[in-house]
Structure 1
Amino acid sequence: MKHLPLLCLFLMLLSYPALQAQQNYTVSGTTYSLKTEVEGTLTLLWNTIDGEYRYFSKKGNDIVELKNSKTDGDYQEEYKEVLRSQTADAVVAVEDVNLTLPSLRAFFIAYNKKIDPAYSVETVSIQLKTRLGGFAGLSNNAYFFNPDNSFLPVLGVEFEIIDDVRLRRHAIVFQFRQLISSSDYDFSSSQVSFNYRFKFIKTDRFDAFINAKPAAFTSISRNQILVEGEEVTTFSGGSEFQFPGSFGIGFDHALGNGYLTFLFNDVVAINLDDNGEFPLELTLGYKWNL
């Protein structure tokens, strides 16, 4: 846990502009690239702009941003007045609407159905997608015996499962990684792990995420010889099912039919003891959309 403050510092420094382009709209003299969430008499537009969710309501040719500013500690809920004005021709409750995508989506659909009884919208409850990738990098193997803090090559593959509808910021990853021994450091390991990723920055072109590893099966092989007098003992390794509780930081950038991916692995491990060195395992790879 001693590296947790550094991990928090990394998160505070992370920023990246949203690169996704949908359709351009001009609102109050400013042009925005916005997604269409609900289309109808009343259309809901949105996107993440400078790391902030922004919502817009379009009726006819008029587009108004939905805002909820804060004054003296109180939210002003200006968006509710905008919605009341735009939906004055129908009886639709505004009081319980929150400035979130699910709440706004439900309100816009309810209004459109009031205006047009034949209005329908396709609701997709889940849309699973998968990605398969490979990666390579270097590791100083900080959670095992490494007296000289030597770096070893890392190779691996991973299989990622995501839901692009209801759980866009979440992913499950099954990963295999192989640590390869060198002439300076005769240690190798194979690991199969289950990982969870939370994407705290999520656009169509770029993701930044926290990688959590709750469970792993690790098999190690090492030649460590201890000489005490005339007695020689050799340690060859073994296998173990672990609950490391480790966390890392990663980035995905859209490229071709997939994503270029960079990961700073296992920066913090709650249930593992390090060897006194700061964990440094950096990998670069590419994963394909299946």
Structure 2
Amino acid sequence: MKRFVFITIFLFSAFLASAQKTYTIDGQSVQLKSAIEGPLDLLWNSFDNQYRYFIRTEDHQLLELLNTKNANNTFQEEYKSTLTQLTNNTLNASKTNFNLRDLAHFVDQYNASVSPEYASERSKFKAELRLGVFGGITNSPFVGNPENIISSVFGGELEMLTGKNKKHSGYLQLRHVAEKDAFKYETTELSLGYRYRFINTSAISFYGDVKFATLNFTRATVTFEDSANNTITQYIDDTAFDVPLIIGVGADIRLSPVIYANVSYNQIFAIFFKNQGNFSSDITLGLKFKIN
């Protein structure tokens, strides 16, 4: 449980660190979130239930977009003239409302018009699909394995990455643990899971992994002695659905625009499964292919 709390705090802290940065405005340090990054950056946050928006230029000037009221309680809409000046009159800001959606759309349009390398925010939010195959070893730490026998494991998965920076993903995975002569246990598992990439660059990403739903088709042979010292052999053929919350970590390494190498350390621990005495030796290597 302590490990779960530690990893949860670590991932949450990494998420907060990546989501906002500290800037100095009028001599004060404030935390701002990034909505658009490009030739013009759009930054924002909420202070005392009031939203404030800022534009950061390519020469790192930070300008606030204002919408103050006059003596007649009428909004002045100063932000429209600021946007017009910043975009050199190339876009019409007259119909842009003072909210994050409209401001982001305006800045996104401008960035796309002046920079061929700029990726529109709308395209950034498009889900990315990756098809993966993998193989490796496991000691099935949540199953009774007195001799800590290592078995082979292999499988495949379909992963969908979403969000502005593709840090979040969900996946559907099929994996099979093969039987060994010394360990008469095999299982085929279909699972659903979630990953958060706390480090995510164009070359490599590191993620935390939680497998929250599993459907296992298991066959095993269990031999034991009863109270009369008789040897009993029991054959198990079982299907089980669980919500185990199994925690793992991994990394994707970019080999080409559409191919990634993957290394994963799986089944480190689970919230609702008990470790049966062997620390996890579940490690897989694989390849992922971008398919859209």
TM range (shorter): 0.5 to 0.7
Deviation at 1:112, TM superposition (A): 6.0
Contact 1:208–1:252 (CA under 8 A) maintained in structure 2: yes
Moved runs in structure 1, 4+ residues, more than 4 A?
5-12, 110-113
Return the alpha-carbon distance in structure 2 between the equivalents of residues 129 and 217 of structure 1. Answer: 25
Give the share of equivalent positions with the same residue, in percent: 24
User: 2:130 aligns to what?
Assistant: 131
Alignment-derived partner of residue 155 in structure 1: 154
Name the structure 2 match of 1:245: 245
Matches within 5 A, 1:57-72: 57-58=57-58, 63-64=59-60
Are the aligned partners of 2:199 and 2:207 in contact in 1 as well (CA < 8 Å)? yes
Q: How many residues align?
A: 220
Contact kept, 8 Å, 1:135 with 1:285, in 2: the verdict is yes
Deviation at 1:193, TM superposition (A): 0.1
1: distance between equivalents of 2:157 and 2:128?
14
Maintained 8 Å contact 1:225/1:232:
yes
- Write out per-residue CA displacement over residues 174-202 of structure 1, whole angstroms, 9 at most, x where no aligned residue: 00010011122111111000011111111
Q: Is the 8 A contact 2:11 2:208 kept in 1?
A: no
Q: Which consecutive residues of structure 2, in runs of 5 or more, have no partner in the other structure?
A: 15-35, 44-54, 67-77, 84-99, 112-118
Matches within 5 A, 1:227-266: 227-228=225-226, 229=228, 230=230, 232-256=232-256, 257-266=258-267
Q: Aligned partners of 1:38 and 1:11: how far apart in 2? A: 27
Name the residue aligned to 2:144.
Answer: 145
The equivalences for 1:7-156 within 5 A come to 7=7, 37-39=37-39, 43-44=40-41, 57-58=57-58, 63-64=59-60, 79-80=62-63, 90-91=81-82, 106=104, 109=107, 124=122, 126-156=125-155
Which residue in the other structure is 2:279 paired with? 278
The separation in 2 between residues aligned to 1:283 and 1:154, in whole angstroms, is 8
Name the CA shift for 1:208/1:88 in 2 (closer, same or farther; >3 Å).
same
1:11/1:262 CA distance change after superposition, 3 Å: farther
Cα deviation code 1:229-271 (max 9, x no counterpart): 4463413241100101111111001013311011111212001
State whether residues 44 and 108 of structure 1, in contact with CA within 8 Å, keep that contact through their aligned partners in structure 2. Answer: no
Question: In the alignment, does 2:216 pair up with 1:222?
Answer: no
Which residue identity is paired with 2:161? I
Amino acid at match of 1:263: S
Counterparts of 1:260 and 1:80 in 2: how far apart (Å)? 42
User: What is the TM-score when the length of structure 2 is the normalising length?
Assistant: 0.64
Is the 1:7–1:267 contact (alpha carbons within 8 Å) kept by the matching residues of 2? no
1:261·1:287 contact (CA, 8 Å) conserved in 2?
Answer: yes
* Shift, 1:56, TM fit: 5.8
Does the CA contact (< 8 Å) of 1:38 and 1:108 recur in 2?
no
Q: In structure 2, the residue corresponding to 1:109 is in which secondary structure?
A: helix
Looking at structure 1, the residues matched to 264 and 214 of structure 2 have their Cα atoms a distance apart, in angstroms, of 17
Structure 2 CA distance for partners of 1:6 and 1:89, relative to 1, 3 Å: closer
Q: Which amino acid aligns with 2:186?
A: S
Query: Greater helix percent: which structure?
Result: 2
The answer to whether the 8 A contact 2:11-2:198 is kept is: no
The equivalent residue for 1:168 is 166
Does the C-alpha gap of structure 1 residues 227 and 167 become closer, same or farther in structure 2, counting only changes over 3 Å?
same
2:122 is paired with a residue of what secondary structure?
coil
Partners of 1:219 and 1:264 in 2: how far apart? 22
Listed one character per residue, the Cα deviations across residues 120-176 of structure 1 (whole Å, up to 9, x for unaligned) are x9662741221111101111111011011111111010111123x536211111000
Distance 1:221 1:232, change over 3 A: same
Question: What's the counterpart of residue 203 of structure 2?
Answer: 205
Contact 1:90 1:111 in 2 (8 A): no
Q: Aligned letter for 1:223? A: T
For normalisation by structure 1, the TM-score amounts to 0.64
